Amino acid sequence: QAVVEYADEEGPQRDIVFADARSGEPVARHPQIHRAKTRKVYDAKKGTKLPGSLVVSEGGDTEDPVAKAAYELAGVTYDFYMASFGRDSFNGSGATIHSSVHFSKNYVNAFWNGQQMVYGDGDGYYASPFAKDMDVVVHELTHAVTQYEASLVYQNQSGALNEAMSDIMAAAADAYKNGVSNKTWLLAETCWTPGVANDAMRYMSNPTQDGQSYDYYPERYTGQQDNGGVHINSGIANLAFYLLSQGGKHPRNKTNIEVPALGIDKAAQIFYRALTNYLNSNATFQDARNATAQAATELYGADAATAAHAAWSAVGVPGAP
Ligand code: ASN
Ligand code: ZN
């Protein structure tokens, strides 16, 4: 798809033009969207009271490199969602993106709290400031998108799908910004273990490489930790997305299915359409299989749906065909 920029009496405008999957004809979507991003970043000053004091608003600047990163990367995330899906902020109608940095002390995490983004500075050993890592910013803001769309319940299989959508959109945004490379499939590599080169928090092309994630549905975690394994079983869907994008087989030969490569752009369109049109709050992996196959059919036709089915079969999620 292409972004068409022009000006009318209201000022600079931007429309998204997609090629119709069947006819190839250009179709302008969301021509009504003329909104721009609106960001606010706050300093929690190592406390836990939110949001803290305002340090930068839209169009402004700050000397604080962490606050500046939170601001800039919220902007990249907004631009990714607008350019890729014609989506105007996390709620689809221009909501202000609020972010707080310097949350708590030695805090090794970041999160979306239902209303805003919150970033720790890490402890300098396991992690450096999370707001400087684009994967983290897209991941957390995608939790907001999911909240407004499928509203996937944050436990068990629906929770693992919720987590995977956040990782998947982080990868897609990385490709949007930087092109596809091996780093596309690494998550939070910029902030994770600053003293260790070339590692990452998670690995989409080979999820078990992190020592905790799972990559094969029949072996999925069914215990109580981590809300029923939301950050563990997400690897199963992450790997399905990787295989649909890049093609190939299960990295540990759990199955022998060869998945055709659609490329990350089409794979991301398929998963986004599944998230926004078909998944409901208690969706399972089998529901995700069917939702992505349906979305693939509508966007790109029968061969893409076959590829989507193959991707889920490759990670052991049952279903027909
Ligand atoms: N950083 C974590 C996440 O977004 C925070 C959490 O566990 N909710 O998944
Ligand atoms: Zn998450």
Query: 5 an active-site residue?
Result: no
Tokens 């996390």, located at residue:
90
Q: Is residue 87 one of the residues assigned to a domain?
A: yes
Locate 217 and state its tokens.
Answer: 């549905």
CA distance 1 to 25: 11
Looking at the structure of the chain, the number of domains it has is 3
Letter string b/e over residues 291-302, b meaning 16 or more CB atoms within 10 A of that residue's CB:
bbbbbbbbbbee
Nearest to 189 by CA among 124, 108, 133, 122: 133
Question: pTM of the predicted model, to two decimals?
Answer: 0.90
Which of 74, 102, 136 delimits the end of a domain? 136
The crossing angle, in degrees rounded to 10, of helices 134-148 and 65-85 is 50
Query: 30 an active-site residue?
Result: no
| Full domain range(s) for residue 265 | 156-314
Same domain membership, residue 222 and residue 212: yes
Same domain membership, residue 20 and residue 66: no
Q: Is residue 184 one of the residues assigned to a domain?
A: yes
Q: Is residue 30 one of the residues assigned to a domain?
A: yes
The CATH number of residue 44's host domain is 3.10.170.10
Atom from ligand 1 closest to the CA of residue 231? 9
Q: Is residue 147 one of the residues assigned to a domain?
A: no
To test the ligand 1 pocket, which listed residue (103, 108, 109, 145) has its Cβ within 8 A of the most ligand atoms?
109
Specify the pairing of strand 117-119 against strand 97-101: parallel
**Tell me, what DSSP letter sits at residue 12?**
E
Ligand 1 centroid to 178 CA: how many Å? 24
What's the per-residue H, E or C state across 105-148?
A: CCCCCEEECCCCEEECCCCCCCECCHHHCHHHHHHHHHHHHHHH
| pLDDT tens for the chain, residues 1 to 321 | 677 777 766 666 666 776 665 667 776 655 444 568 999 999 999 999 999 999 999 999 999 999 999 999 999 999 999 999 999 999 998 999 999 999 999 999 999 999 999 999 999 999 999 999 999 999 999 999 999 999 999 999 999 999 999 999 999 999 999 999 999 999 999 999 999 999 999 999 999 999 999 999 999 999 999 999 999 999 999 999 999 999 999 999 999 999 999 999 999 999 999 999 999 999 999 999 999 999 999 999 999 999 999 999 999 999 987
Atom from ligand 1 closest to the CA of residue 227? 7
Q: Is residue 96 one of the residues assigned to a domain?
A: yes
Ligand 2 centroid to 23 CA: how many Å? 38
Same domain membership, residue 277 and residue 131: no
Q: Is residue 240 one of the residues assigned to a domain?
A: yes
126 lines ligand 1 (CB under 6 A): no
pLDDT score recorded for residue 10: 61
Q: Is residue 151 one of the residues assigned to a domain?
A: no
Query: What's the ipTM?
Result: 0.94
Same domain membership, residue 122 and residue 83: yes
SS3 content of the chain, % helix, strand, coil (to 5): 40, 15, 45
To test the ligand 1 pocket, which listed residue (111, 165, 230) has its Cβ within 8 A of the most ligand atoms?
111
Same domain membership, residue 160 and residue 122: no
In DSSP notation, 89-109 reads STTSS---EEEEES-SSS---
Same domain membership, residue 299 and residue 162: yes
CA distance 266 to 159: 24
To test the ligand 1 pocket, which listed residue (140, 145, 213) has its Cβ within 8 A of the most ligand atoms?
140
- Within 10 angstroms of residue 144's Cβ, the number of other Cβ atoms is 22
Same domain membership, residue 204 and residue 126: no
Same domain membership, residue 1 and residue 57: no
Q: Is residue 143 one of the residues assigned to a domain?
A: no
Specify the pairing of strand 53-57 against strand 39-43: antiparallel
Same domain membership, residue 43 and residue 23: no
Atom from ligand 1 closest to the CA of residue 230? 9
Same domain membership, residue 200 and residue 269: yes
Same domain membership, residue 102 and residue 89: yes
pLDDT score recorded for residue 7: 74
Same domain membership, residue 64 and residue 5: no
The CATH number of residue 206's host domain is 1.10.390.10
Residue tagged active-site, from 139, 231, 250, 309 = 231
